[in-house]
Amino acid sequence: MELAVSCKNVSKVYDTGGQKVTALNCIDLDIIIGELMMLVGPSGCGKTTLISVVAGILDQDNGSCELFGENLQDMSSKDKLNFRARNIGFVFQSFNLLPSLNAAENVSIPLILNGMKRFEAERKAVTVLEQVGLGDRWKFLPSQLSGGQQQRVAIARALVHNPRLIVCDEPTSALDHVTGQNVMTMLKDVAMHKERTLVIVTHDARIFDFADRIAEMDDGHIVTVGGIKAKKLSLNSAS
């Protein structure tokens, strides 16, 4: 079993004007290549902080976090950027599309950052938009798309450069139930294959079924990691 992510003893303390908040407290977590891992837990328990560290956009204070066998903290900032640009796709709760770029242009950004020429990148972007069912909307601005469509554009953007890891923070929270389900189905269909790993932060119990494994966090710790069945039981007994 090869590991996509291997966090050992990872800690992160935020220091806001003298007040210290321990967001991550000695986290150990392994995520296997090809699996869909969900991170769940109460608000403020450190989920977003953890995937920020995993995705290499936030430095931990202690411990190590390896991505595909490489330690991002040991890299120069340039190598880190290149590594991110090549290997990681992002999906956000609030979509974070650039409002003045149309769907195809938004989706083309990761390709351009990886050195592809603009027109080629946009052509490629349109094909990925087709995969998420928005082939006919490539010219639309984000403001002309529904929430679910915007999230699909965001998913296309996370996929377009064929990254090995996609991190998603609450991808369905801004969407209604049906749309959320559709987006998840699509995400799983289009994004998942044996080379790609997905880490999804969520508190939306209705999408737990999509997970291969679920890690439950509380107060900066990982409480349990288990298969979906076990998780459902533990969540039910907790409530």
Partner 1 sequence: MNHIALKMLMGDKGKYIGIIMGLTFASLIMTQQPAIFVGLMSRSYSFISDVGLPDIWVMDAKVQFVDDIKPLQDTELYRVRGISGVEWATPMYKGLLKVRLTDGTFQTCIVVGLDDSTLIGGPPVMIEGKLDNLRNSDSVVVDIDGARDKLGKPSPTPGAAPIPLKIGDTLEINDRRAIVAGIAKVTRTFQSQPVIYTTYSRAKSYAPKERKLLSFVLVKAKKGQDIAELTRRITKTTGLAAYSQAEFQELTYEYFMHNTGIPINFGISVLLGFIVGAAIAGQTFYNFTLENLRQFGVLKAMGASNLILLRMILLQAVLVGSIGYGLGVGLTALFGFAMRNTILAFKFPWQLLLFSGTGVSLICIFAAFISILKVIRLEPAIVFKG
User: Which one, 96 or 127, has the nearer CB to ligand ATP?
Assistant: 96
* The binder of ligand ATP chosen from 17, 18, 20, 43 (CB under 6 A): 43
Asked if 51 is part of the footprint of partner 1 (rule: CB under 8 A), the reply reads yes
Asked if 205 is part of the footprint of ligand ATP (rule: CB under 6 A), the reply reads no
Report CA-CA distances (Å) from 13 to 55, 85, 121, 188, 219.
Answer: 17, 26, 39, 33, 12
Among 19, 39, 70, which Cα is nearest to 220's? Answer: 39
Select from 21-29, 34-42, 43-51, 206-214 the region that touches Mg ion (CB under 5 A): 43-51
Asked if 47 is part of the footprint of ligand ATP (rule: CB under 6 A), the reply reads yes
Neighbours of 78 (CB within 10 A): 8
Residues 171-210 that bind Mg ion (CB under 5 A): none
Q: How far is the CB of 123 from ligand ATP (least distance, A)?
A: 36
* The binder of partner 1 chosen from 82, 127, 182, 234 (CB under 8 A): 82
* Residue entry with tokens 């679920």: 214
* The binder of Mg ion chosen from 27, 29, 40, 48 (CB under 5 A): 48
Whether the CB-CB separation of 173 and 204 falls below 8 Å is answered with yes
Asked if 49 is part of the footprint of Mg ion (rule: CB under 5 A), the reply reads no
Among 135, 70, 63, 65, which Cα is nearest to 103's? Answer: 135
